[in-house]
Amino acid sequence: MIRLFDWMMGKFSLDMGIDLGTANTLVCVQGEGIVLSEPSVVAVQKGTNRVLLNGNAVGETAKRMLGKTPGNIVAIRPLKDGVIADFEITEAMLRYFIRKVHKRAWGLKPRVVIAIPSGITAVEKRAVINSAERAGARKVYLIDEPMAAGIGAGLPITDPSGSMIVDVGGGTTEVAVISLAGIVHAESIRVAGDEMDAAITLALKKNHNLLIGEQTAEKIKIAIGSAYPLQQEMRLEVRGRDVSTALPRKAVISSEEVREALLEPVSAIVAAIKRTLENIAPELSADLVEQGIMLAGGGVLLRGLDKVIADEVQLPVRVADDPLTAVARGTGEILDQLGLLHQILSSADD
């Protein structure tokens, strides 16, 4: 009787896939594609978990407050390095996104597929499931991010041949070799877009005696950041606070400086790829000589990252179409083929 009730309540619900990222959260709805892409940021009253604007100070609205809030307001990123750092705030954020997308009658709850880093613990998985259920999901399925990225990028994950995916997100970089709908070997490192921003911030402080915020660092990375020498190097005027005088000041930085600052995080990503290649069977290595490596995630938009990886591992490297949405699109395809791909998912029943 309970199962029949659940079936009736869910019959007309709007099932969705969620790429719950450290930097951005994307939601894909079955049959509709990506319907939401907003920063994973929540603004709360200081000392409480009360979300401002009646629970609506989430996403783009909250991101605009980062680094600019008065003393009684705090803008929080509730996920750190790909995992939940603040459970209550994450739940509030998920509730906002689910409510925003699922505009159906009260009582109709969606099934949700959530992409998670491959390296998280069973306790962290349970925290994601519990947060999503309390936020309004009827049934929660978890999928490893590299698997979702591979599906979204169009890799033949069910074939008896090796496919390699590198997903560079905000908090983590996921590297995996996939065959027969399973992950043969995976590396999950907590070096990705956020680490790149931190490296730029440190370089500005060291080289120019200038303090900048994380949003400014991200803008620098997007504007002139690169991992490989550019045909035409660039310069950019940056504004921040002088370390010595504490007064506002501006400085001009070059793309060469930024590339040097990014050398360490880029090298860590390349090292993770090499470790993965060292841990797979020769037959899979042979497949990758032809198939190459697929790159996904917002971090692979860094200029020349594909060239650096290709030079270091001597394999063909391709960037997925619209790499920023590959994981979310993968969760959407899983919803379309839930019966067929059920074996690659985990849930509260496992």
Whichever domain contains 240, its CATH number is 3.90.640.10
Confidence grade of residue 177 (pLDDT, cut at 50, 70, 90) = very high
Domain boundary residue among 217, 235, 263? 263
Q: For residue 156, what pLDDT is reported?
A: 93
Q: For residue 239, what pLDDT is reported?
A: 96
Same domain for 174 and 208, yes or no, is: no
Any domain includes 155: no
Closest to 149 in 3D by CA, of 341, 322, 271, 336: 322
Q: For residue 5, what pLDDT is reported?
A: 46
Same domain for 126 and 239, yes or no, is: no
Same domain for 29 and 104, yes or no, is: yes
What is the percent of the chain with per-residue pLDDT over 90, rounded to a whole number? 60
Q: For residue 213, what pLDDT is reported?
A: 92
Bigger pLDDT: 46 vs 321: 321
Any domain includes 152: no
Same domain for 13 and 90, yes or no, is: yes
Average pLDDT over residues 178-189: 92
Q: Where in the sequence is the domain holding 200, given as residue range(s)?
A: 193-263
Same domain for 34 and 95, yes or no, is: yes
Same domain for 143 and 53, yes or no, is: no
Contact 317, 292 (CB under 8 A): yes
Same domain for 120 and 251, yes or no, is: no
Q: For residue 104, what pLDDT is reported?
A: 57
Any domain includes 153: no
Average pLDDT over residues 43-56: 85
User: What average pLDDT does the structure give for the chain?
Assistant: 89
Any domain includes 206: yes
CA-CA distance, 266 to 304, in Å (whole number)? 11
Q: What pTM was computed for the model?
A: 0.90
Confidence grade of residue 1 (pLDDT, cut at 50, 70, 90) = very low
Q: Is the pLDDT of residue 7 over 60?
A: no
Q: For residue 256, what pLDDT is reported?
A: 97
Q: For residue 56, what pLDDT is reported?
A: 85
Same domain for 69 and 23, yes or no, is: no
Q: For residue 348, what pLDDT is reported?
A: 63
Any domain includes 45: yes
Q: Is the pLDDT of residue 89 over 80?
A: yes
Q: Is the pLDDT of residue 6 over 70?
A: no
Q: For residue 324, what pLDDT is reported?
A: 94
Q: For residue 146, what pLDDT is reported?
A: 93
Measured in whole angstroms, the distance separating CA 88 from the mean position of its chain's CA atoms is 20
Q: Is the pLDDT of residue 18 over 70?
A: yes
Same domain for 111 and 20, yes or no, is: yes
Q: How many CB atoms lie within 10 A of CB 307?
A: 14
Total domains in the fold of the chain: 4
Same domain for 171 and 279, yes or no, is: yes
Q: Is the dihedral of CA 95, 98, 99, 104 positive or negative?
A: negative
Same domain for 88 and 11, yes or no, is: yes
Average pLDDT over residues 76-99: 86
Confidence grade of residue 203 (pLDDT, cut at 50, 70, 90) = very high
Confidence grade of residue 243 (pLDDT, cut at 50, 70, 90) = very high
Same domain for 241 and 295, yes or no, is: no
Residue 184, CA distances (Å) to 13, 118, 269, 285 in order: 35, 12, 19, 12
